[in-house]
Amino acid sequence: MIKVAPSVLAADFLKLGEQIREAQAAGADRLHMDVMDGRFVPNISFGMPLVQAVRRGSTLPVETHLMIVEPERYVEAFAQAGADTIIVHQEVSPHLDRTIQVIKHHGKRAGVAINPSTPIEVLGEVLEQLDLALLMTVNPGFGGQHFLEYTLRKIRQMRALLDRRNPACELEVDGGIEPHTAPRVAEAGARVLVAGSALFGAADGFTAAYGRLQASLGS
C-alpha cells in the first residue's frame, strides 16, 4: 500500500484550511511541510507558525521536512509546533546520531533526507535508528521541478538495504512526483510519495488530481 503525503508548499495559503480539509477528505495519509531557510536551499518558505496552524486545522499526521542549516537547533521548536515526524538533511547535520536521538527524545518520529547527489551509503550507520528515509528526487528548494531519473537507482538500492536492515523504516521520495513518475518510484521500492504541484497545483482541483495519482498507482 503506497501512501501519499501532499506537500503544503504548493497549497494556496489564503485558503489553507480549506485545502488541507480537502486533502484529508480525499484520503491523504499525512501532510508534508517544507521548511526552507534560504541558506541550505536558495528559497525561503515558512516556519513554526504555519506548522502550528496546520496542526490545528487537521487531524492528519504532520511531517516537517527541514531544509535548514543546523536543523538540530530547531528540533524542539518543531516538536512543540506539533510535527509528528521531523526530517533533517544529512548534509547539514554532522552529528546525525545525536540529532536522531534528540528527535526521538521529544517523542517524534525521526527522518533523514538526502539530496539526489548524496550517496545512500551516508545513512549506513544509522539505518536501524530511522523511522523514515527520504530520498530527494529533485534538488531541494522549489516545487514543480522535473523528476531526476537517476534517483530510481538509489531508490532500488535503499529498498534492498531497508528490507535487510530495517523493514519498518518508511522509504519516502520527494520531488517531481506525478502520475507518470509515481508508479515508477513505487515499483523501485518507495512507499511514501510526497507530491505538491501535481496535487494542490492541479487546474481541476486537489480531489481530481489525487484520484489521478492513485489511479496511476493502480489503487
Active site residues: 34, 174
Question: Looking at beta carbons only, is 133 or 198 nearer to ligand DX5?
Answer: 198
| 115 binds ligand DX5, rule: CB under 6 A | no
Cα-Cα-Cα-Cα dihedral sign, residues 6, 12, 112, 47:
negative
**Mask: binding to ligand DX5, 54-93, rule CB under 6 A, as x and -?**
-----------x----------------------------
Question: Looking at beta carbons only, is 60 or 198 nearer to ligand DX5?
Answer: 198
Q: Report residue 90 as a C-alpha cell.
A: 544529512
Identify the residue among 24, 145, 157, 207 touching ligand DX5 (CB under 6 A): 145
| 140 binds ligand DX5, rule: CB under 6 A | yes
Contact 123, 87 (CB under 8 A): no
Q: Tell me which amino acid residue 82 is.
A: G
Q: CB 164 → ligand DX5: shortest distance, Å?
A: 27
Contact 6, 31 (CB under 8 A): yes
| 131 binds Zn ion, rule: CB under 5 A | no
| 161 binds ligand DX5, rule: CB under 6 A | no
Q: CB 209 → ligand DX5: shortest distance, Å?
A: 11
Closest CA to 133 of 107, 162, 84, 172: 172
Q: CB 201 → ligand DX5: shortest distance, Å?
A: 7
**What's the maximum distance between 2 C-alpha atoms anywhere in the chain?**
45
- What is the footprint of Zn ion within residues 23-82 (CB under 5 A)? 34, 65
- What is the footprint of ligand DX5 within residues 176-215 (CB under 6 A)? 176-177, 194-198
Name residue 85's beta-bridge partners: 63, 109
Question: Where does this chain bind ligand DX5 (CB under 6 A)?
Answer: 7, 9-10, 32, 34, 65, 138, 140-145, 174-177, 194-198
Question: Where does this chain bind Zn ion (CB under 5 A)?
Answer: 34, 65, 174
